[in-house]
Amino acid sequence: MTPSESPLLDPVTLEILETAYLQRCASVDELRGALPAPPGDLQARLEALYAGGFLAEADGRLDYTSPYTAFVAIGAARAERIVDEAVRTTALMQALPRLIRAWDISEVEDGGRHPLAVNIIHAVSDSGDAWFRHAAAETTSRPSMVFPEEGPLLAALRAGHLADLQGRMEEGHLRVLVNVDLHPTGELAERLDDVRRRGVQLRRSRNTPSWLYVDAGSIVGVPILWGSPAPTRLLAVRTPPVVAAVALVFDELWHAADRWEESESPWVPILGLMGQGLTDDAIAQRLGLTDRTVRRRIAEAMVELGVTSRFALGMAWERLSAP
* 209-243 pLDDT, tens digit each: 889 999 987 888 888 887 888 888 888 888 777 78
Say if residue 55's pLDDT is above 80. yes
Question: The whole model's pTM is what?
Answer: 0.54
What pLDDT score does 149 carry?
93
| Percent of the chain predicted with pLDDT > 70 | 79
46's enclosing H/E stretch is helix 42-52
- Contact by Cβ (8 Å): 258, 180: yes
Measure Cα distances from 143 to 30, 151, 162, 278 in Å: 56, 21, 10, 42
Q: How confident is the model at residue 1 (pLDDT cuts 50, 70, 90)?
A: very low
283's enclosing H/E stretch is helix 280-287
What average pLDDT does the structure give for the chain?
80
- Contact by Cβ (8 Å): 61, 71: no
What pLDDT score does 184 carry?
84
Can you tell me the distance from the alpha carbon of 222 to that of 142, in angstroms, rounded to the nearest whole number? 17
Say if residue 60's pLDDT is above 80. no
Can you tell me the distance from the alpha carbon of 222 to that of 276, in angstroms, rounded to the nearest whole number? 49
Mean pLDDT computed over 91-103? 61
- Contact by Cβ (8 Å): 178, 207: no
What pLDDT score does 178 carry?
94
- Contact by Cβ (8 Å): 271, 313: yes
Can you tell me the distance from the alpha carbon of 150 to that of 208, in angstroms, rounded to the nearest whole number? 12
Mean pLDDT computed over 97-121? 56
What pLDDT score does 153 carry?
94
β-partners of residue 258 are 204
Q: How confident is the model at residue 146 (pLDDT cuts 50, 70, 90)?
A: very high
Q: How confident is the model at residue 271 (pLDDT cuts 50, 70, 90)?
A: confident
Say if residue 68's pLDDT is above 80. no
| Residues shown for the chain | 323
Q: Are strands 118-122 and 61-64 parallel, antiparallel or unpaired?
A: unpaired
The most distant pair of C-alpha atoms in the chain lies apart, rounded to whole Å, by 85
Better-predicted residue by pLDDT, 72 or 129? 129
Q: How confident is the model at residue 124 (pLDDT cuts 50, 70, 90)?
A: low
What pLDDT score does 159 carry?
92
Say if residue 3's pLDDT is above 60. no
Say if residue 95's pLDDT is above 70. no
